[in-house]
Amino acid sequence: MSEYILGIETSCDETAVAIVKNGKEIVANVVASQIESHKRFGGVVPEIASRHHVEQITMVLEEAFKETEMTIDDIDAVAVTEGPGLVGALLVGVNAAKALAFAHQKPLIGVHHIAGHIYANRLVKEFSFPLLALVVSGGHTELVLMKDHGDFEIIGGETRDDAAGEAYDKVARTLKLPYPGGPKIDQLAQEGNMVIDFPRAWLEEGSFDFSFSGLKSAVINTLHNAKQRGEEFRQEDIATSFQASVVDVLVEKTYLAAKHYQVKQVIVAGGVAANKGLRAAMEAKFKKSKPELLFPPISLCTDNAAMIAAAGSVAFKQGHRADWDLNANPGLSMEKYSQRMMSCD
């Protein structure tokens, strides 16, 4: 018997609904992006994001069902991002999911947003454990070790520092590029030359933690000092030099961690997984080594609901169900989520 999970994602600036079959196959996938509305503010404005989600959610839901011959009666469970994310934005998705699940008496499942990003890769290929996930999104840079479904152990992270995507967006703003800056820097980086050897933060030996704030400051200072001297760098060259520094650290730390934990697969997840430079460098580094390398297709790197349904499918199979008092959980940690997933209800 096939299992169909309806996924809902509204944690940031995309209103998304998807239907996924057996945790691995996309049946419908609709994403309404708000990027155009936030662009003029140079970043996501939480109030505006919430309002857009309220306006969009019903249409996006209808659109997802329209893409299929299915109705809500064919759905086995409703999975929704409960956190982390913007509280007002999360609330829209959580309440839509609760209303739908309650009205149609379907099981409700709360999903961790980063678990979703990781499970976007299961829409590409079945997982082989142990696996290592490099999570690179707007809010997180983490190496996550998984020994089983639902078992997420963070072996390295950005602690209180900027996440990789955040560093991209801040450097882009300094270069006066439009929001979100990541894709634009990626594009410029293909056209520039390495002109500056920006710092790489390796931190103490054996650490799998990341820190990009020093690099971000180095880029800002370099541009500022050049301006004071009346000189100017080409945007492309700054982009190439900055990207080389980010990619070097991400690839090297992932490689060392993959060897250390002898994993069978290395998967890359989150918005920055769309980065051409990162994809090429990871492919080159892991070409001759044993762990198999997985990337989601570009469309599943940034926020979407197919990944939430995919992660929700695993929770559903393991018997996890949310109560009707499920709430938005903006600070939901991976540790807490993992503990919940590994406990038998």
Alpha-carbon span 88 to 230, nearest angstrom: 45
Q: Please name the helix (run of DSSP H) or strand (run of DSSP E) that holds residue 279, with its range, or none.
A: helix 276-286
**42-63 CB burial, b ≥16 within 10 A, e <16:** bebbeebbbbbbbebbeebbee
Alpha-carbon span 88 to 49, nearest angstrom: 8
With binding defined as CB under 6 A, does residue 19 bind ligand KG4?
no
Alpha-carbon span 319 to 274, nearest angstrom: 33
- Binding part of the chain for ligand KG4, among 31-39, 182-190, 213-221, 286-294 by CB under 6 A, reads 182-190
Among 9, 142, 186, 209, binds ligand KG4 (CB under 6 A): 186
With binding defined as CB under 6 A, does residue 270 bind ligand KG4?
yes
Interface positions, 200-259, toward ligand KG4 (CB under 6 A) = none
Interface positions, 254-313, toward Zn ion (CB under 5 A) = 303
Among 12, 27, 177, 310, binds ligand KG4 (CB under 6 A): 12
CB-CB contact of 119 with 270 (8 Å): no
The two three-digit tokens of residue 85, written as one number: 């994310």
Residue closer to Zn ion by CB (options 244, 306) is: 306
Among 34, 245, 254, 275, binds ligand KG4 (CB under 6 A): 275
Among 71, 67, 274, smallest CA distance to 183 is for 274
Among 137, 141, 265, 313, binds Zn ion (CB under 5 A): 137
Among 130, 165, 291, 312, binds ligand KG4 (CB under 6 A): 165
Among 157, 181, 192, 296, binds ligand KG4 (CB under 6 A): 181
The two three-digit tokens of residue 199, written as one number: 């710092």
CB of 138 to ligand KG4, least distance (A): 3
Binding residue count for Zn ion, defined by CB under 5 A: 2
Residue closer to Zn ion by CB (options 82, 303) is: 303
Alpha-carbon span 59 to 31, nearest angstrom: 11
With binding defined as CB under 6 A, does residue 15 bind ligand KG4?
no
Residue pointed to by tokens 């929770």 = 315
CB-CB contact of 253 with 226 (8 Å): no
Per-position x/- string for 96-125, each x denoting binding to ligand KG4 as judged by CB under 6 A, each - no binding: ---------------------x--------
Backbone dihedral angles phi then psi of residue 57, each to the nearest 5 degrees: -55, -45
Q: Please name the helix (run of DSSP H) or strand (run of DSSP E) that holds residue 19, with its range, or none.
A: strand 14-21
With binding defined as CB under 6 A, does residue 142 bind ligand KG4?
no
Residue closer to ligand KG4 by CB (options 156, 180) is: 180
- Binding part of the chain for ligand KG4, among 97-105, 119-127, 271-279, 307-315 by CB under 6 A, reads 271-279
Helix (H, G, I), strand (E, B) or coil at 155: strand
Residues at the contact surface with ligand KG4, assessed by CB under 6 A:
12, 117, 137-139, 165, 168-169, 180-183, 186, 270-272, 274-275, 302-303
Residues at the contact surface with Zn ion, assessed by CB under 5 A:
137, 303
